[in-house]
Structure 1
Amino acid sequence: MNVSIACIVYQNGKILVARRNPTGDMGDRWEFPGGKQEAGETDETAIIREMNEEFGVTANAGEKIASSEFEHRGKMSVLNAYLVQFDHNGIEKPYVLTEHTEYKWVLPEEIPNLNFVDSDLKIYPAVLEYLKRK
């Protein structure tokens, strides 16, 4: 079964979301950053690689907060969501977007109003519940 990772980057009461490239799979839809785990990777190493590739940042994997199965192109996959922190070393820098056209910080309650990918919407209730306890 394929494993995908959703990175829940939460700071100052908001979650980082990104819009997919319009020409790609599920183009122009919003998502939690992340991606597919590659052969031999753990969830944690996939998080570090994906955040470096997609945003040009060093990331630290935190607690696993949700998991859900979904079907994509006739194949079953699992999506694991982790709380993730970016390591800025005290210096904020612009993100380098390679797989998205834009990003923004949104209140957790705003996510249902965005054109979000279906797999991420499946984990959204568990993510919201987790963040309410924080």
Structure 2
Amino acid sequence: MTGVTDRVVVVGAAVFHEGRLLAARRSAPPELAGGWELPGGKVEPGESPERALVRELREELGVEADVRERIPGEWPLKPGYVLQVWTVRLLSGTPRPLQDHDALRWLLPHEADTVDWLVQDRPAVAEAIRRLSALPGTAAQA
């Protein structure tokens, strides 16, 4: 059987902490290495997207996080794969690049364009920055 149910969902986390957004630079696979993304990974069979995000952030960055709300839309990655993004609040731990990344940066809203985001992440990043800028106490100015 083919169709929508055969697609693989990849979840991304717009991690907000102290008025900043977390960006992660890919180290693998080679075709994505050097590009910046919202951290996350594939949803495993029988796993909810929210649970997958918590697991992936623990595995990739060594942090505990609280999944908040989904950013509307989804974006094609490669045939059969789509990206869905949620806003996430850091609960504990200091993010470290443990898997698939070689650098992390915390970006204020006006710094979002200082990294070379992967094409598929750009629409979600734009919406994440809009939401982050609207939070009380966030300095959105340059």
Q: TM-score, normalised by structure 1?
A: 0.82
Residues 94 and 68 from structure 1, CA distance in 2 versus in 1: closer, same or farther, beyond 3 angstroms? closer
Q: Which amino acid aligns with 1:3?
A: V
Distance (whole Å) between structure 1 residues aligned to residue 94 and residue 115 of structure 2: 26
Q: Which amino acid aligns with 2:130?
A: E
Whether the aligned pair in 2 keeps the contact of 1:66 and 1:127 (CA below 8 Å) is no
**Percentage of identical aligned residues:** 30
Secondary structure of 1:84 counterpart: strand
Distance (whole Å) between structure 1 residues aligned to residue 11 and residue 70 of structure 2: 10
Which one of the candidate residues 88, 109, 113 is aligned to 1:84? Answer: 88
Distance (whole Å) between structure 2 residues aligned to residue 33 and residue 121 of structure 1: 13
**Cα RMSD, aligned residues only:** 2.0
Structure 2, unaligned stretches of length 5 or more?
A: 1-6, 136-142
Whether the aligned pair in 2 keeps the contact of 1:65 and 1:130 (CA below 8 Å) is no
Q: Which amino acid aligns with 1:97?
A: L
Which is worse superposed, 123-132 or 49-58? Answer: 123-132
1:50 is displaced (CA, Å) by 0.3
Is 1:63 paired with 2:69? yes
Q: Which has the larger radius of gyration?
A: 2
1:111 is displaced (CA, Å) by 2.5
Residues 130 and 94 from structure 1, CA distance in 2 versus in 1: closer, same or farther, beyond 3 angstroms? closer
Q: Which amino acid aligns with 1:6?
A: G
Structure 1 residues 32-43: aligned runs within 5 Å: 32-43=38-49
Q: Following superposition, which runs of at least 4 residues in structure 1 exceed 4 angstroms of deviation?
A: none
Is 1:98 paired with 2:99? yes
Distance (whole Å) between structure 1 residues aligned to residue 35 and residue 73 of structure 2: 21
Residues 115 and 81 from structure 1, CA distance in 2 versus in 1: closer, same or farther, beyond 3 angstroms? same
1:112 is displaced (CA, Å) by 2.8
Q: Which amino acid aligns with 1:28?
A: G
Provide the residue aligned with 1:52 in structure 2. Answer: 58
1:28 is displaced (CA, Å) by 1.1
Q: TM-score, normalised by structure 2?
A: 0.78
| Count of residue pairs brought into register by the alignment | 129
Provide the residue aligned with 1:119 in structure 2. Answer: 120
Is 1:30 paired with 2:31? no
Provide the residue aligned with 2:139 in structure 1. Answer: none
Whether the aligned pair in 1 keeps the contact of 2:28 and 2:100 (CA below 8 Å) is no
